[in-house]
Chain A
Amino acid sequence: MQLKFELAKYDEAEDKFELDETMYEMEIGDEDAQTYELLKSSDLNLYNWLKASDFFLNYIKEEVYPDDDNQKIAICDINDISFRRFYFFKVTSGESHYEYFKKLFSIYEESEWQDREDVGKEILEHLMVKRQELIIDLKVDETVESDDREV
Chain B
Amino acid sequence: MDKQYIDKMLLEMDKDLSKQGMSRRDALKLAGLSGAGLLMGTTTASAEEEKIVKSNAKGKIVIVGGGLAGVSTAARLTLKLDNPDITIIEPEKTSVSYQPGQTLVAAGIWDEEDIIYQRDDFIPEGVKVISERAVFFNPQENQLTTDKGQVVSYDYLIIAMGTQLDFERIKGLEEAGRALSAGNNDKLLDALGDSICSIYTSAGSVKTWEIMQKYIAQAKSGKKTKFVFTHPDTPLKCGGAPKKIVYLTNSRLKEAGARENAELTFYPNGGAMFGVPEYHDAIVGQFKREGIKHHYRHNLIEVDKENKIAVFDAKWQEKGPWDPVMKDFEVIPKHEKKRVAYDFLHIAPANIAPREIGESDLGSAKGWIPVNKETLQHIRYLNVFSLGDIAQVPMGKTGGSVRKQYKVLVDNLIALMDEKKMTAKYAGYTVCPLITDIGTVMLAEFDWTVKPTPSFPLDPTVERWIFWLMKVYALKPMTMYGMLSGRA
Contact = CB atoms under 8 A, between A and B. Distances in A.
Partners in one complex: yes
Interface of A: 19, 82, 84-85, 88-97, 106, 108-117
Contacts of B373: 106
Interface string B262-285: 000000111111110000100000
Contacts, number: 81
19 contacts: A84-B325, A84-B327, A89-B326, A92-B320, A92-B330, A96-B328, A97-B326, A106-B394, A108-B395, A110-B270, A111-B271, A111-B275, A112-B231, A113-B234, A113-B235, A113-B268, A113-B269, A115-B233, A115-B269
B7 interface: no
Contacts of B232: 113
Nearest to A89: B326
Chain B interface extent, by class: 20 to 34
Contacts of B325: 19, 84, 88
A113 B320 contact: no
A91 B333 CA distance: 9
B328 A116 contact: no
A110 B395 contact: yes
A30 to B, nearest CB: 32
Interface in B308-353: 315, 317, 320, 323, 325-333
Contacts of B315: 115
A16 to B, nearest CB: 12
B77 interface: no
Most buried by B among A91, A94, A97, A113: A113
B448 interface: yes
Given A94-B330, A116-B317, A111 B323 contact: no
Contacts of B234: 113
A97 B329 CA distance: 11
B236 interface: yes
B239 interface: yes
Contacts of A96: 328
B329 A94 contact: yes
Contacts of A84: 325-327
Given A85-B326, A92-B333, A112-B269, 15 more contacts: A84-B325, A90-B330, A91-B333, A93-B323, A93-B326, A106-B394, A108-B394, A108-B395, A109-B235, A110-B270, A110-B275, A113-B234, A113-B239, A113-B269, A116-B317
A105 to B, nearest CB: 12
